[in-house]
Amino acid sequence: MVAVQSYQIFLERGLFGCVKNWVNMKTERPSLDAVYGLLSESRCRYLLYYFLKSNHANIESVSLQIAAWEQGESIEAVTEAQKQRVTTSLVHSHLPKLEDHGLIEHDSRTGDVIVSSEFDEVSETVRQARASEDEITITGSSMESFLYSESVPSSNRERQ
């Protein structure tokens, strides 16, 4: 009886895999709303930026890089706790979203992540977001220094 139950589980898993592959074959290019939705989440966005330069990664290495970007530090300065927080959010939230949209494939057993052919359809939008974010960071830092500078005394404002 045990062998029969194991066999049934194998069939169910096999069936699920077939259904999943059939669904993935039916996926279309993600809508613009979906792409911008993915880009609106920083860790998801950083993951997409990572894949502009590489077609594959391991979850450990990409988590380390994203943690470094978030902290504004080098990879060597990232703590294990920081990396683990990023890894957890990627595995439980961001990787499944990207996989659902057909942009990546993630092997949870090995931690390997590869870019799917659908990523090419959105890569230009991701490049534009990356370029915009670089510009905003530069503009944002100068604006921040203005916003947090000391206020001008009212007597000085009246003279001007």
Taking only the tens place, the pLDDT of each residue in 30-52 is 888 999 999 999 999 999 999 99
Could you give the residue ranges of the DSSP H alpha helices within 31-118? 32-39, 42-53, 59-71, 80-89, 95-100
Is pTM, for the whole model, over 0.75? no
Higher pLDDT: 6 or 54? It is 54
Report the distance separating Cα 19 and Cα 26, nearest Å: 11
Match domain 31-141 to its CATH number in 2.60.40, 3.40.47, 1.10.10, 1.20.272: 1.10.10
Domain boundaries, the chain: 31-141
Q: Is the dihedral of CA 119, 122, 73, 71 positive or negative?
A: negative
